[in-house]
Amino acid sequence: MSKHFFGDTATLAGRSLRHIARSPDTIITTAIMPIAMMLLFVYVFGGAIDVGSALYVNYLLPGILLITVASGIAYTAYRLFMDMRGGIFERFQSMPTARSAVLWAHVLTSLVANLISLVVVTLVALLMGFRSGAGVLAWLSVAGLLILFTLALTWIAVIPGLSARTMEGASAFSYPLIFLPFLSSAFVPTATMPGPLRFFAEHQPVTAIVNAIRALFAEQPVGGELWIAVGWCAGILVVAYAPCARTAAGSPERFLRLDGIVWTI
């Protein structure tokens, strides 16, 4: 790791954050879809869904927060793709800049932007009646889990951001991630699902993460669900980060080929 890594990352992250500050519509757009879904499910479908004694908005919010992150990381892939096409990487390579700092700057920018979107969605949920008696430690645990989940998905977004051939391809990867919470316990209890779908829903990462956040908000025992959720997030993070780190290492043999042009990172 270059001795300039932290300084370079901070400088480049500041550049990306200034772009977002000049174009806040990306954060607004990211928050609008989850908010619209929350309004639709709470006020249209909520009365027909039996989740026990809990308010449906309380039941729904954890899944909506994950969808917020999944929709937000599409912009990370898009911004990275535009930097690749604009030759920013090539210019940075000619400077004494830590190569991995460029990727980490985009990742940290994604983290900040997604946290703002999550706060906006949570505030809207409070206006809709969401309530939690959770203490500070529980809220910090939820925040930590969401940060880890955001980092994991953001490093997944880096891969298409580096390798996509079109702008649409760079962001289209997020669609399956947005759809995944629908096949989990985010909207309805998994017990209501048919056999094969129920098995998948109960053994995929979103269900573990949603159940852990829901239990923390409801002041219920989390048990091993929290560690399963952390394990899923950490595993996804490691698997996604590894190829990006190898690319950012910048060895002479590692190239990214886009439209016949050889880019070194």
What ranges make up the beta strands (E) of the chain?
Answer: 256-258, 261-263
Task: Give the per-residue pLDDT at 172.
Answer: 75
24 — pLDDT class (breaks 50, 70, 90): low
Which residue, among 68, 109, 73, 105, has the nearest Cα to 88 in the 3D structure? 105
Whether the predicted pLDDT of 27 surpasses 90: no
For the chain, the farthest-separated pair of C-alpha atoms sits apart, in whole angstroms, at: 61
Whether the predicted pLDDT of 264 surpasses 70: no
Long-range CB pairs of 251-259, under 8 A, 24+ apart, other chains included: 256/84, 256/162, 256/163, 258/84, 258/85, 258/163, 258/165, 259/165
- What is the average per-residue pLDDT within 229-258? 69
pTM summary value: 0.84
Q: Which of 48-52, 115-119, 254-258 has the lowest mean pLDDT?
A: 254-258
Q: Which helix (H) or strand (E) holds 117?
A: helix 99-127
Question: CA-CA distance, 107 to 81, in Å (whole number)?
Answer: 13
